[in-house]
A and B are shown apart, each in its own frame.
Chain A
Amino acid sequence: MTEPASKNANVVAECLRSWNPKAVAEVLEFRGETTIVVPRELLRATAEHCRQDAKLQYNFLTDATCVDRYPAEPRFELNYHLVSIPRREKVRLRAWLSGNDPVVDSLVPVWPGANWLEREIFDLFGIRFSGHPDLRRILLPEDWEGHPLRRDYPVEGYRDVPNTGELFRKSSTP
């Protein structure tokens, strides 16, 4: 499903490769959108470079979100959508995280606006962001069990079984 790389994709990939050859694991193009797959250890440094570099100028973090590819492994696909307001270009930075150790460096030191976006991902997917100043649940109550946007979390949630006081739980069945 890959399309030929756009002009902007080449600019970004070339610029990042000349800074650090390891930073670009893959360049994907789909429906005119550029995705740069970044090794997760290099995510913060790459984002910082995208923001600072005079040729890239990705100064605006518009969105951060996660996709759970359960049961594939690594299951979590973390997407950061960057916009360059002066250049009028967009790019997506992607990092893959494994299910048993979903930890990644937080981007709050790069963009303070990543704060609530990452808290939302932490809340709904259970991904931990190291270096985040305030990693708490944001949408759900603090005592909520589980992370609802994971694909193995039932859509209807865990509910009471009528008249028994029991809960539907995947793990409770022996």
Chain B
Amino acid sequence: MTTVETAVGTAKTMVLNMGPQHPSTHGVLRILLELDGETVVKAIPDLGYLHTGIEKSCEDKTYSQAITLTDRMDYLNPLGNNLVYCLAVEKLLGLEVPKRAQYIRVMMVELQRISSHLVWLGTHAIDLGAMSVFLYCFREREEILKIFELFTGQRMMTSYIRIGGVALDPPAGWRQAVERFLKMMPSRVDEYETLLTENRIWIGRTKGVGYISLDDAIALSMSGPTLRAAGVAYDNRKAFPYSSYEEFNFDVPTRTESDCYARYLVRVAEMRESLKIIRQAFDKIKDEGPIKANAPGIIPPQREKMKTEMEALIYHFKIFTEGFSPAPGEAFVTVESPRGELGCFVASDGSPKPLRVHFRSPSYINLQALPKLIEGQLISDVIACIGTIDIVLGEVDR
């Protein structure tokens, strides 16, 4: 058990155990707070309550089977997790993905980014006492989940992005659904801003709270909106473009104040940028074209071909009984998840199961900076600081 030794003698401080069952920790995070009155002297996060050994389980599955496990890490960003894992395996295989599939991937992960930011905004606001924002945000998130259901058959654990492409062709009527969302969403983002951006209570609870300097943020490996709110325009979509992001036109919002309020502004601006990207991807996706790479032995053959072609049937059997074996080597890919730099490291030893799969989860690494954000602050600001780094405990503990 993690414990805190309080200073003996002066005995001015007390230790408060926050979590693991605390609504504002968004999962099962335990923080030991050493308090002097209402001021936090020391904070020690204690994690692992949700550790499920996903990395170990991946080693016992074939490359394709492991995709379903990635959904379950960051449950607000399953498509992004699918994407980073598939990109890593594709890099290991040296596989080229058709443009149409790349654009579909981009559209889906950007929708996911908006839905994740909506959950963040709603829960962050409810933590700080603004109940109605939560209801507004979840109303729009529902629309995004309906689009996911239309595309993938699932609202959350989609497993839609597969090695070499995506699982299914976009369904009939997808353009109307996405178009409706794109028409509706900009005014809804305005609504959130009218509720919060100039709200005096919101500003009072977030402005100047949870400051971290730019040098500290980089030294602590922080990434995503938290780093961009400190003043660096470091975004993997621009710095190391993947999945054809270099063809898209968008900005990377940054602030320099590096407090909770700046992070809020960055995330809201990111939602608007994501809408721009979705619109461009929407126009780029053609109605006809391949959604999977042409790689027999790696991509399962079409059902119709299996009934007429011997090779297709053999490949199907081999893929689902033993899988495929990439050449020995390693690949490390990073993408920009809603929370920051999400990385996947895959090592192959030439067998059909990965030798090692490792996820660089942004929540885990950003959470490391929590003591830096809250030490010296008031206890009520702890809630704001946990919310502002946007952690998902499923991803922290994996």
Contact = CB atoms under 8 A, between A and B. Distances in A.
Interface of A: 1, 30-31, 33, 35, 59-63, 65, 67-69, 79, 81, 85, 88, 90, 92, 111-117, 120, 124, 136-142, 148-149, 151, 153, 155
Contact of A115 (B334, B341, B347, B368): B368
Contact of B332 (A33, A69, A111, A120): A33
A62 B341 contact: yes
B259 to A, nearest CB: 20
Nearest to A155: B60
B143 to A, nearest CB: 34
Interface string B327-351: 1111110100000010101010100
Nearest to A64: B360
A33 B219 contact: no
6 contacts: A30-B331, A116-B368, A120-B364, A124-B55, A155-B57, A155-B60
Main secondary structure of the interface of B (DSSP, over half): mixed
A90 B240 contact: yes
Nearest to B233: A85
A148 B53 contact: yes
Contacts, number: 105
Give the bracket for the number of chain B residues in contact with chain A.
Answer: 35 or more
Interface of B: 1-2, 47-48, 51, 53, 55-57, 59-60, 91-92, 94, 216, 218-223, 232, 234, 239-240, 327-332, 334, 341, 343, 345, 347, 349, 355-356, 358, 360, 364-365, 367-368, 397-398
Nearest to B90: A31
Nearest to B48: A139
A62 B218 contact: no
A5 B370 CA distance: 40
A68 B343 contact: no
Contact of B94 (A31, A116, A117, A139): A31
A61 B221 contact: yes
B232 A85 contact: yes
Contacts of A61: 221
Contacts of A92: 330, 332
B221 A111 contact: yes
Contacts of B327: 1
Contact of A63 (B60, B349, B360): B360
A148 B397 contact: no
Q: Which 7 A-B pairs have the closest CB atoms?
A: A113-B221, A63-B360, A139-B48, A65-B358, A139-B51, A155-B60, A113-B220
A31 B329 contact: yes
A69 B223 CA distance: 31
Given A33-B330, A85-B234, 6 more contacts: A30-B331, A31-B94, A59-B218, A62-B341, A63-B358, A116-B368
A137 B2 CA distance: 10
Contacts of A139: 47-48, 51, 397-398
B368 A113 contact: yes
A156 to B, nearest CB: 9
Contacts of B222: 113
Given A59-B218, A113-B221, A149-B56, A140 B330 contact: no
Contacts of B358: 63, 65
A62 B57 CA distance: 23
B80 to A, nearest CB: 16
